[in-house]
Structures are given as structure tokens and as C-alpha cells.
Structure 1
């Protein structure tokens, strides 16, 4: 969909070459628009106009806006019918991330959504994990998986997914590294999902629920009390409560901030209103993410460009965001050390004007 051009101000380093980790990207939402159109044609699916155009989706922050988002997401997901489709999505997501400097990707997937086509939730997850190992070997971006339950399904379904995720738990590419909870924050009771998260934690998986985007600080507090998160998917509205934000900082709970989706969902009117500066100034560990670029448009590098253009982050502070993403990831420690050293190398590289030509 809509993507900013990779232009940059004179005297700055390109964000595409800044090594970083990508911690908030959904499986179906990672699809290239061209891939969606190809799969729809192949499987005879008639897509809504919004998915056949090149316009970024713009939604209201109420239930009606979320319903429209879910309808579009479900339409895109209905085009994913085979193991080959699933493998293609993983490989292309990793290749796109590699082109934007992402060296470690945690791709979030609910295998329930694809199980009917491939023989169950276990084969669905194994297809994604196998593709993640292949993508890690060929793209330069190491890919791990977060298994996510849905708030609109029964909590017992979440327990089944937690047990499945635990069977494939690991700490390298092609393994499950975390357990999440997605969909509309206004649906269901967060506390009802606590047993599933307890199962996942016992297996060594990170606790990675969505919270604090559509709902405010009180929902974040409930998530902290009941799910003991290591990171919050979004969490951006914790900036509305300084006491809560300080508690998140003290507990070292990272925030997966996705500016483009915040604006597309109507949480903030434009990118400059996303409270990135407030979160970082408070000491929060922030990892920028693209969420669902199929619907929201910009991919990962554009989130870093927004930090530069809309919030005035210089190269040093952009490097700080990249370091935060790496530190908050579930990458093995040796991978983290290597990537952090490469961030330092990026900062030490000579700054070239955007008008410079030649090798």
C-alpha cells in the first residue's frame, strides 16, 4: 500500500541500513499487496475494494472501525489456502525486513486461522516454523515465531495454543519464542487468559499480549496484574498515566509501538501525535513495529523515518530505538551482542549528504 520514499535529510544515515529487530508483525498483515492480489486470483476470492486499491486504510477508533478492520483482515486471510501460500508469506516478510535493516524478526501467527486448510493447528504451526528456518538461512534476517491467541475465542482455545507453542519453544530462528493475545482489546476478559499465559511462561516463552492501544491505562494495569507481560503489543497509551509508565519502566516491560497503525485505527490523528518522545523520555524500552502493513501501508523503515521526521530524532536517538528493539527481543544473547555492535558501526559510519553520488 502507501510507502514513504527512502529519502533522507542531508547529513543523516539511511534508516534502511540501521540494524534493528522487528517485534510486532502479524502473519497475514505482513503480506505484500501484490501477493494478496495473486493469491486472491489463484483461489477465486473476490476482495473488498479497499484491499484492491493502493490506499492506506483509515478507520475510526470505535467498534465500527474495528469491525471494518477485522472484515478486511479476514478477507485477506481467506486467500491463504495452502502450505505454499504460508511459506511464501514468511519468506517474503523476511526478505522485506532484510531490505529495511531488520536482522531479527518475531512473526506473530495464530495457527487456528489456517488449520482448516492444512490439517490442523500443529501442521499449520510447523509450516510456519519450517519456513522461518528457510527464510533465516536465505534472507539475512533471522525469523522466530510468536504464537498468538485471539480475545474473541474462548480462553480454553488459548490454553490449547499455549500447550502447542510450548512444544516448539526455543531461542533461535525457526522456534517459538513467545505467546501473545491479539484482536480487539474491548472484547473478553483479560484475566480469563491468565492460565494460558501461565502455561506459556512455564515453557520459557515470553508473555506478549496486546494492550494499551484501543483502551487506555486501566487496561494496561489489568494486563500487568493478570498476564505478567514481558512486552506489550502497542502499550502506547500508557503514556497517558505517568505513574503507570514509571511502573512499566521499572519492571522493564517493553512497548511495541506501531505509529502507522495507531494513526490508521484513529487512536491519534497523525504521526506527530503518537507520544513516542514522551515514552522514550520516561525511559521506556520502545521497539518500533509495522503491525499490519498490508492494511496500514508503511513497513518497518517508515516507522523509523517517522521518528526522525515527525519527532525530531537524530541518528543517535534512532540508534537508541534500534538498541531497544534488540534488547527487548528474544534473540539469543550472542545474536544481540552482534547486532548491538552493528548498531555502533552504523553510528560510526561517515555521514554522507543525500546529494552525494558515486561509490
Structure 2
């Protein structure tokens, strides 16, 4: 990797950035509803004559103050998505954006709570619509999508069990994982152990949001109490050297979303973000966008900003993309196809 302190010409630097933005990418941490462009949600609301108060800023972007308010705006925007067809359209819109940014494989978080209210029969209808849309995008855009069912932490353990049942009943080659999102300040990871055990018994691989707001102990509990192989965010593990060593030893993969962490104020800027320190310590890190239109980012933007801030070159990003492919929850044939495309 080039020494970031080595002087290079402006033209050469911009050429390198252009090359980096165009690299094939693998994204593992992406919320489907959170990937809805504001124009898509406004259009859907207009079609249905639904008023969405206090969701958009004057410039048309999503408007929120902090993480708690973000969750409120997120759920308000999601309220206009009320049918399998709505989710099929959203899936296509999301995949078009991802493909434009060079993503060749993505895993998206989808929740039965938003897709049928946790009812298994309704969930299957939503799931079929999303899967058909993803297969259409695969043919037209060359992008592969898989689903990771998520329970919503602040909805509580009982609803999480319903989500886990939906996940277990539809586990297979498209629904490949189970996880948890939502408000990290509610309850504890172990409150949801039953749901994660149910998903594990169904053959699903596991992830959970942790270490974004509550600190390193939350990461430790996700690994210990839920048995996850990946952690959503997990960046505050850097505050506990012993935990970092444990993550390395157990080969736990972090789904890092730098732009999201900065936008929500977990870190003041990208220079203060610990992704490089974690990588240097041997932690397996990946790069994702979380909820890209909410946080004014894209996968190409994430790559560019990391290159400018940390001096990462194309080889470093290729290495991280391979780490992401290795950590993907898909079957081995799909993984082999991703790796082949990454190797070009």
C-alpha cells in the first residue's frame, strides 16, 4: 500500500480514487427499508394519499436529530410500505442503487415485523415478492442478494420469537441468516437467546448489532450469549484490548459502517473512526453503508472517504472485499461465484 505521506500529484490521486470507487464490492450490513431513497418513499406516500409529517428536511432528504429520532423517522417512512408489491419495488430500487456503486453481492436485513406483522403466512408472501425482485435484478444488473431476517430489539423478546419462527420456517438458499437490529439501549443481548437458538437450529448463521452505543461489553455479550459469527458495527470493541484479542482469536467479523457511525455522532469524523486500528490489530473488518440515503452515503462514497482518510489503496479494498465474501452467509457455490468476480 502506498505511504499516505508520500507526495503524489493531484491527477494521479484522483485517478486512484476513481479506480477505487469502481472496484467490485460486497456489502453485508444493509437495512432494506433504510435503503429506500427519499423520493421513493415520497412517491409511495403520494400514491397512497398518506401524509408523512416530520420525515423530510426542506431539501427533500430524511430529517432526524439523533439515533433515537432516526428510529422514529425510519419507522414513519416504513409505514407507507404495506404490501408485498411495495417491498418488491423497494428491493429493485435498492439493488439499482447498489449495482450503480459496484456492489456485486449484498445481504439485506429484512424484518417480519414490517413485512406482515410477524404473521408467517403474510411473511411468506412478502418474502416471495422480494426474492422474485432480487432474481430479476440479478439477471438485469448482475447483483446477487440474500436475506438476513432481523428481530427488532426495542420491540421486545416476544416479537423476536415470532421473527425467529418466520426465519426458521423460510430458511434456505435465499434466507441465509438471522440477526437483531433496533435500539441497543433496550434490554440485553441474552434476552433474545431463545430466538437466536431457534434460528441456529434451523441452520441460519447469526449476527447482531452491538458495540455502537453501549460500548465493548455489548460486543462481548453478543458473541458470548448469542453465539454470533458477525457483529453489526462492533467498533467500540477497540476500547477493550482484551476483547479485541478475543475477536481475533474467534475470527469474529465486524460489519463496519463508517459513514453511519460518523453521521450519528458515534465518532466526530472519519479520522477518529477505529476501523484502521481494528484492522491493524488483526480484527476482520468489512465495509457497509447501513442505511445509505439516511446517512448521505453509498458504497463508492465509503470507499473514497476511507481512501482519502487512511490512504488505503485498491489492494487494501480488494482484501476487505474478499474478507466480506468469506464472511457472507450464502452457500459455498454462491461464495465461489463472488470470489471469482472479485478476482476478475
Tell me the TM-score normalised to structure 1 length: 0.86
In 2, Cα distance between equivalents of 1:120 and 1:333: 30
Taking structure 1 as reference, are residues 16 and 335 closer, same or farther at Cα in structure 2, changes over 3 Å only?
farther
Corresponding residue for residue 131 of structure 2: 129
Question: Displacement, 1:34?
Answer: 1.7
Q: Is the 8 A contact 2:41 2:80 kept in 1?
A: yes
Question: Displacement, 1:33?
Answer: 2.0
Secondary structure in structure 2 of the residue aligned to 1:137? helix
Matched, 1:289 2:294: no
Q: Is the 8 A contact 1:91 1:135 kept in 2?
A: yes
Q: Is the 8 A contact 1:13 1:315 kept in 2?
A: no
Question: Which residues in structure 2 correspond to 1:91-110 (within 5 Å)?
Answer: 91-110=92-111
Question: Displacement, 1:90?
Answer: 0.5
Corresponding residue for residue 196 of structure 2: 197
In 2, Cα distance between equivalents of 1:115 and 1:326: 31
Matched, 1:209 2:208: yes
Question: Which residues in structure 2 correspond to 1:92-241 (within 5 Å)?
Answer: 92-115=93-116, 120-171=122-173, 175-241=174-240
In 2, Cα distance between equivalents of 1:29 and 1:239: 27
Secondary structure in structure 1 of the residue aligned to 2:232? strand
Question: Displacement, 1:333?
Answer: 2.4
Q: Is the 8 A contact 2:55 2:63 kept in 1?
A: yes
Q: Which is worse superposed, 143-152 or 35-44?
A: 35-44
Runs of 4+ residues deviating >6 angstroms:
none
Question: Displacement, 1:49?
Answer: 4.8
In 2, Cα distance between equivalents of 1:83 and 1:56: 24
Q: Is the 8 A contact 1:249 1:284 kept in 2?
A: yes
Corresponding residue for residue 24 of structure 1: 29
In 2, Cα distance between equivalents of 1:193 and 1:187: 11
Secondary structure in structure 2 of the residue aligned to 1:14? helix
Q: Is the 8 A contact 1:32 1:294 kept in 2?
A: yes
Q: How many residues align?
A: 331
Question: Which residues in structure 2 correspond to 1:79-98 (within 5 Å)?
Answer: 79-98=80-99
In 2, Cα distance between equivalents of 1:41 and 1:56: 16
Q: Is the 8 A contact 2:112 2:166 kept in 1?
A: no
Question: Displacement, 1:55?
Answer: 4.9
In 2, Cα distance between equivalents of 1:202 and 1:161: 14
Q: Is the 8 A contact 2:26 2:325 kept in 1?
A: yes
Corresponding residue for residue 336 of structure 2: 337
Tell me the TM-score normalised to structure 2 length: 0.89
Q: Is the 8 A contact 1:18 1:322 kept in 2?
A: no
Corresponding residue for residue 46 of structure 1: 51
**Gaps (5+ residues) in structure 1?**
1-6, 60-64, 346-359
The CA deviation string for residues 101-156 of structure 1, in whole angstroms up to 9 with x for no partner, is 21111111112113159973333333323333333233211111011001112312
Coordinate RMSD, CA, aligned: 2.2
Q: Is the 8 A contact 1:105 1:142 kept in 2?
A: yes
Question: Displacement, 1:233?
Answer: 0.7
Q: Is the 8 A contact 2:98 2:299 kept in 1?
A: yes
In 2, Cα distance between equivalents of 1:8 and 1:82: 47
Secondary structure in structure 2 of the residue aligned to 1:152? helix
Taking structure 1 as reference, are residues 8 and 141 closer, same or farther at Cα in structure 2, changes over 3 Å only?
farther
Q: Is the 8 A contact 1:260 1:290 kept in 2?
A: yes
Question: Displacement, 1:189?
Answer: 2.3
Corresponding residue for residue 355 of structure 1: none
